[in-house]
Chain A
Amino acid sequence: MVLEGSERELVEACRRGEREAFRALFEIYRDRIYSIALRYSGDEAAAMDIAQDTFLKLFASIHQFRGDAAFQTWIYRLVVNSCFDHKRRTRRLVPLAAGFLATLRASADSLADLLRSEVRTSVRTAVDRLSPALRMVIVLRYTEALSYEEIAAVLGCSQGTVASRLNRAHKALGRRLSHLANGGNRHV
């Protein structure tokens, strides 16, 4: 049965146009793709757009998958490209405004809520301000817990480049979030 088979069998079934196989593949990757999209874009509506776009590309081009790379790597490449394409189409003019609106939406019933909201907004804003290349490395590392080798395979660059980008991103984030580290708002 397709749904109980390996990933290779699923891919083959998708190529044959079996609807159950598409659904099974969707269920395997839906959370991972949506998570990358959400953590990269910082916006639920944009994440839905990106995830939808990724799955449509996946189903439309699955016959092009040659098996040269791991299937998971191939899917990660699709979502990474969708993220970059989406960012090019809809540049966020005022990222800080999103953070401000998120703060307004957050519950402010208690001091703990306020602090939690401040930390969340600060981290989100700091990540938003990273360049797309640095932000994607951070998302793949912390959302998907990929190794340097896996990130390099997804992005098509060397592990040295991955290490360099991570280092630059960490330094930038460290500078922008130093007030939280020193202010005692840790994990509220």
Chain B
Amino acid sequence: MSEWLELELAHRLAPVRAPEQLWHLVQTPGPLANVRRRPVKTVLLLAAAAAASVWVAAAWRPETSSVQTISLSANPSESHIACRACHTD
């Protein structure tokens, strides 16, 4: 085996210090996975809420939201000013 690999393994697999949290986990045994899944659940809930918001926003249409609706509702005959805006002399 190469010396390089020996040194690399010793370096990359060196011992580490355990987190202080470990003692608390040992004292209060419980399903760790549930504790760690809470952020995942939160993210999933937020994502679902965001998706619902987008869906509601897309489904909602104000009554006079389009330019076409506004232009159709206007009556040019009532005001010559409206005609002059487009038809110049």
A120 to B13, CA, bound (A): 10
Please tell me the number of chain B residues within 8 Å of chain A, measured between CB atoms. 26
Residues of chain A contacted by B16 (CB below 8 angstroms): 31, 34-35, 38
Tell me if B's interface is mostly helix, strand, loop or mixed: helix
Contact indicator per residue, chain A 139-162, by CB within 8 Å of chain B (1) or not (0): 100111000000000000000000
CB <8 Å contact, B9 and A138: yes
The minimal Cβ–Cβ distance linking A61 to chain B, given in whole angstroms, is 14
* B15 lies within 8 A of chain A by Cβ: yes
* SS class, residues of chain A in contact with chain B: helix
Residues from chain B with a CB closer than 8 A to the CB of A30 are 18, 22-23
Task: Mark the stretch among A6-14, A47-55, A64-72, A106-114 that contacts chain B.
Answer: A47-55
Tell whether A45 is near chain B: CB-to-CB under 8 Å. Answer: yes
Contact B1 A174 (CB under 8 A): yes
Asked whether A123 lies within 8 Å of B8 as measured between CB atoms, the reply is yes
Question: A138: which B residues are within 8 A, CB to CB?
Answer: 9, 13
Taking the complex as formed, is A177 at the interface, i.e. its CB lies under 8 A from any CB of chain B?
yes
A173 at the interface (CB under 8 A from B): yes
Knowing A34-B18, A138-B13, the reply to whether A177 touches B8 (Cβ < 8 A) is yes
- Give which listed residue, B1, B13, B21, B22, contacts A170 with CB less than 8 A: B1
Please indicate the chain B residues that have their CB under 8 angstroms from the CB of A181 in the complex: 2, 4-5
Q: Are A31 and B18 in contact (CB under 8 A)?
A: yes
Q: Distance (Å) between the CB of A38 and the closest chain B CB?
A: 6
Check A187 for interface membership: any CB of B closer than 8 A.
Answer: yes
CB-nearest residue of chain A to B36 = A45
Pick out which of these stretches binds chain A: B24-32, B46-54, B57-65, B79-87: B24-32
Q: Give residues in B with beta carbon < 8 Å to A.
A: 1-2, 4-5, 7-19, 21-23, 25-26, 29, 32-33, 36
- Apart from A31-B15, A35-B18, A123-B9, what 17 extra A-B contacts exist at CB < 8 Å? A33-B18, A34-B19, A34-B22, A38-B16, A48-B22, A49-B32, A49-B33, A52-B22, A52-B25, A52-B26, A55-B26, A56-B29, A123-B8, A138-B9, A142-B14, A170-B1, A187-B7
